[in-house]
Amino acid sequence: MAKVAYLCTDLLFTSKIRETARALGHETEACRDARSLAATARDARLIIIDLRRPDALAALIQLRAEAATAEVPAIGFCDHERTDLMESAHQAGCSLVLAKGKFSSDLRRLLSDQALTAP
């Protein structure tokens, strides 16, 4: 079972992440802030970050600075018109950045990805 850590306070997306991961047999852990994400991500195979959170970029920078979480794939999502935020997230170390709609429609595929399901 792979662990998916996520930093998101939007109830719709939180529920979607949790339920989709559960349906695919993955454990999830919700994080309340950048510090708890850094601690949780040490055991995670995937990190999901709602980039609309004010602490999202700081959380990414902190994750990439720590050896234990530097290579854990991170997926960020935000409003499609926030191209500046998308670029900043890439620069901060986000592996993949998607608009909310694309993230939502691709979530099942993203959680079924070979890197996440490999032993």
DSSP of 21-52: HHHTT-EEEEESSHHHHHHHHTT-SEEEEETT
Q: What is the pLDDT of residues 9-30, one digit of tens each?
A: 899 999 999 999 999 999 999 9
Q: What is the pLDDT of residues 68-98, one digit of tens each?
A: 888 999 999 999 999 999 999 999 999 999 9
Residue type, 27: E
User: 0.85 exceeded by the pTM?
Assistant: yes
